[in-house]
Amino acid sequence: MLDETKRQRFQYLRDREDEECLTEDERTELAGLIEEIEQAEAAYLKPATERTRKENDEAESRLRALEDLARRKEELVERMEALQAERAAIQEETLRLLGEHSGAQTAV
């Protein structure tokens, strides 16, 4: 960040800016000080920004994995329902065939 001398100069220039009394040189100087502050803030925040980005990447990865598991589960449920329907159809056909066989024996 800014040392005390620069901090005081920055405040002086900001006050003059508020009063609309800045010269072109002072505007340039103020812009340079603002840039210096922004760079210092960016450097200070960089570790936290990188940590947040990493956490977001990990969260997105977990989300994609969970979405994949949910899709697989839905597919499994669909296959199980199809198998249950097939089982029911086989059971029904078996009972029909056994019923026909029983009926044929009693008719004889």
Binned at pLDDT 50, 70 and 90, residue 108 comes out as: very low
pTM above 0.85, yes or no: no
Question: Domain range for residue 69?
Answer: 4-107
Model confidence over 28-46: pLDDT tens digits?
999 999 999 999 999 999 9
CA 78 to chain centre: 28
**Number of structural domains, the chain?**
1
Model confidence over 56-90: pLDDT tens digits?
999 999 999 999 999 999 999 999 999 999 999 99
Binned at pLDDT 50, 70 and 90, residue 105 comes out as: low
Distance in angstroms (rounded) separating the CA atoms of residues 104 and 100: 6
**What spatial distance separates the first Cα and last Cα of the chain, rounded to whole Å?**
106
